[in-house]
Amino acid sequence: MTRRLLLVAALVLVAPAVQAQQGTASGDTQGIVGRPKGQALAGEALVARTEDVAGLLRCPVCQGLSVADSPATMAVNMKAQVREMLAAGYEQEQILAYFEHSYGEFVRLQPPLRGVNWLVWLGPLLALAAGGVFVTRALSARRPAAVPAEPSALPGPATLPDDPELARYVRRVRELAYGWPGGRPPGSEA
């Protein structure tokens, strides 16, 4: 059962890549993004622009690296295709749209602000605001209450415990610590 689940997961992950490879082999770029809208590039401008555009695409194999930085064979092929498309005169948005069509929106390292992607961009800000509200409420709940107007029910210095044995020890400690004769403060009755 686990092997089947792993096989299905692998097929789901690899299917877009295989579909993209088949799409590039058939040369249907114009069918996906239309005719080139820009100027054909060559030389140093082509090399620099290839690095820029490939840096905007996520490697489907590495996923943590851009196509420009990834050493994977698939990334090298994608970078070569970016170079070919730039040399043919396709613009950056056309190239990104082509790869997005082949691999899905995940292929963009910076997804566009549309649909559910707003949550990706605004999610951290919303989480930060919610955390701030939570901390503010938690701190305001911990504030000490106002001091009651009633007198305190704490025992005074002349008060002794109800237990006669304990009272004897308390008197002895007071006598030794404070020098009170009999353990009673001066001026107290008894």
Longest dimension (CA), the chain: 110
Model pLDDT, residue 26: 37
Is 162 domain-assigned?
yes
Number of Cβ atoms within 10 Å of the Cβ of 58: 22
CA distance to 21, 32, 47, 48, 130, per residue, from 80 (Å): 12, 18, 11, 13, 45
Nearest CA among 138, 135, 136, 182 for reference residue 160: 182
pTM of the model: 0.49
> 81 and 169, same structural domain?
no
pLDDT lower than 50: segments of the chain: 22-26
Give the tens place of pLDDT for each residue, 116-139: 767 777 788 889 999 999 999 888
Give the tens place of pLDDT for each residue, 60-71: 888 788 888 888
Domain that holds residue 54: 10-107
Is 149 domain-assigned?
no
Tokens of 73: 């064979």
**Total domain count, the chain:** 2
33: CATH: 1.10.8.640
